[in-house]
């Protein structure tokens, strides 16, 4: 279990570092992403930087939950960062998409991400800590799509040798975040079905 967590943690850190480095440098970008940077010279880098930051800030806030004061501050910073990343994800999704289905997938990811973050804030302000935790864990699952999307894409590149890129990309745009969200929801439902009924 710890090996799996450590491996995923390493993937998260690598994805964050790569996103930071690619925010303003498109030399290694595929054409589908390079054109987004060209068409959205401000929004795209902001999305990349805040998205990369969210991958680090959300686990930090979760790790500090035993220290309420630090958890609250880390959580506030993370939610503001997620809000910016989620809002900027929408124009990035729709600008020069690979397919309309992939654009819908990325846009849906941004909307669900924002909705769960808002739900988590609403729940903690209402004093409902269990529902807050469930919403934030599902928000983190949606966010992890940024990592899984790249993992699935790497497997496709190794195994498919370029065949069916547009179709795979469209499926990956939904599966990258949809599968982690579904898995998290099922785990939480099994742990406490009453909490999930309220989220």
> What is the distance between the alpha carbons of residues 74 and 54, in angstroms, rounded to a whole number?
11
Strand ranges (E), the chain: none
The sign of the torsion formed by the CA atoms of 36, 157, 54, 21 equals negative
CA distance 178 to 145: 8
Residue 17: per-residue pLDDT: 64
Q: Whole-model pTM above 0.85?
A: no
Residue 2 pLDDT: 47
pLDDT tens, N- to C-terminus, the chain (199 residues): 445 545 555 656 666 666 666 656 656 656 666 778 788 888 988 998 898 888 889 888 998 989 999 999 999 999 999 999 999 999 999 988 889 999 999 999 999 999 999 999 999 999 999 999 999 999 999 999 988 888 888 888 788 776 788 899 999 999 999 999 999 999 888 877 555 555 5
pLDDT at 166: 87
Give the gyration radius of the chain's Cα atoms: 17
What's the confidence (pLDDT) of residue 28? Answer: 60
No. of helices (H) and no. of strands (E), the chain = 9, 0
CA distance linking residue 118 with residue 71, whole number of Å: 17
pLDDT number for residue 160: 74
């Amino acid at each position: 279990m710890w090996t799996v967590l450590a491996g995923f943690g390493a993937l998260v850190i690598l994805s964050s570092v790569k996103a930071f480095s690619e925010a303003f440098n498109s030399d290694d970008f595929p054409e589908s992403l390079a054109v987004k940077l060209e068409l959205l010279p401000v929004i795209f880098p902001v999305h990349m930087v805040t998205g990369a930051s969210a991958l680090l800030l959300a686990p930090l806030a979760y790790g500090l939950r035993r220290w309420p004061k630090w958890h609250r501050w880390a959580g506030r910073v993370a939610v503001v960062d997620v809000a910016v990343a989620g809002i900027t994800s929408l124009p990035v999704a729709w600008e020069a998409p690979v397919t309309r289905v992939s654009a819908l997938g990325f846009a849906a990811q941004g909307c669900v991400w924002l909705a769960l973050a808002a739900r988590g804030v609403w729940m903690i302000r209402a004093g409902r800590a269990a529902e807050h935790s469930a919403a934030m864990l599902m928000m983190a699952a949606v966010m992890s799509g940024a990592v899984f999307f790249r993992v699935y894409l790497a497997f496709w590149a190794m195994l498919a040798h370029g065949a069916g890129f547009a179709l795979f990309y469209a499926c990956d745009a939904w599966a990258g975040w949809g599968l982690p969200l579904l898995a998290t929801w099922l785990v939480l439902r099994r742990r406490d079905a009453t909490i999930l009924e309220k989220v």
